Chain A
Amino acid sequence: KNQVEQSPQSLIILEGKNCTLQCNYTVSPFSNLRWYKQDTGRGPVSLTIMTFSENTKSNGRYTATLDADTKQSSLHITASQLSDSASYICVVTHASGGSYIPTFGRGTSLIVHP
């Protein structure tokens, strides 16, 4: 069964600190992995997308890594800001019969305190 597990479920950090969010998946065959940021009451916004051959991708203070062998990804946030408070969702897509099927994680809720 295709699954995406994210940890921790929630995280509280102080402004200016770094943090790392984890995503483990059992999706197969793998097509790509994306991280989305979702502010409360809003739709998710894409942060990064990685294919099988990519190990690291950055978007400003956000850096995503992918280990396709262990089926793990992480999202590292550097020098956190209050605006980073949001839910971060890992989405892994697999290819099936010509269609591309995403599996969503439940998200990690990040709260950044001043």
Chain B
Amino acid sequence: DGGITQSPKYLFRKEGQNVTLSCEQNLNHDAMYWYRQDPGQGLRLIYYSQIVNDFQKGDIAEGYSVSREKKESFPLTVTSAQKNPTAFYLCASSEPRQIYGYTFGSGTRLTVV
């Protein structure tokens, strides 16, 4: 079955530590996205990538970094510069022009300990 897989489901980060969230899709989608979800707020775009080796900052990119070396993979690194990283992170992919909407992963909950 085609889908989008995020791992791990739960992640704990110590102060000053970088952590990387994995996102893999086998839908052959060109575009991939990272969103952050906080309680009571809508999804906020961190980064997106329309094609391999290219990505763009979203609304809240500070303290995050990404890479897109393969079409299937779009990992997100939460750096120590992100001062409030505790949140639910969602990865998504889509066809060009989002004709059929997004397919979302099941999310990673990151907690700072």
Contact = CB atoms under 8 A, between A and B. Distances in A.
Interface in B41-57: 41-43
A104 B41 CA distance: 9
Given A41-B107, A42-B106, A43-B107, A104 B101 contact: no
A4 B106 contact: no
Interface size class of chain B, counting residues whose CB lies under 8 Å from the partner chain: 10 to 19
A100 interface: yes
A100 B98 contact: yes
Interface string A91-114: 101000000101111110000000
A100 B101 contact: no
A34 B101 contact: yes
A4 B42 CA distance: 9
A43 B90 contact: yes
Contacts of B100: 49
Given A41-B107, A41-B109, A46 B41 contact: no
- By secondary structure, the A interface counts as strand
A101 to B, nearest CB: 9
A108 to B, nearest CB: 12
Interface residues of A, number: 21
A89 interface: yes
Contacts of B43: 89, 104
B75 interface: no
Interface of B: 6, 40-43, 88, 90, 92, 97-98, 100-102, 104-107, 109
Interface of A: 4, 32, 34, 36, 41-46, 49, 89, 91, 93, 100, 102-107
28 contacts: A4-B42, A36-B104, A41-B88, A41-B107, A42-B106, A42-B107, A43-B90, A43-B104, A43-B105, A44-B90, A44-B102, A44-B104, A45-B104, A46-B101, A46-B102, A49-B100, A49-B101, A89-B42, A91-B101, A93-B98, A100-B97, A100-B98, A103-B42, A104-B42, A104-B43, A106-B40, A106-B41, A106-B42
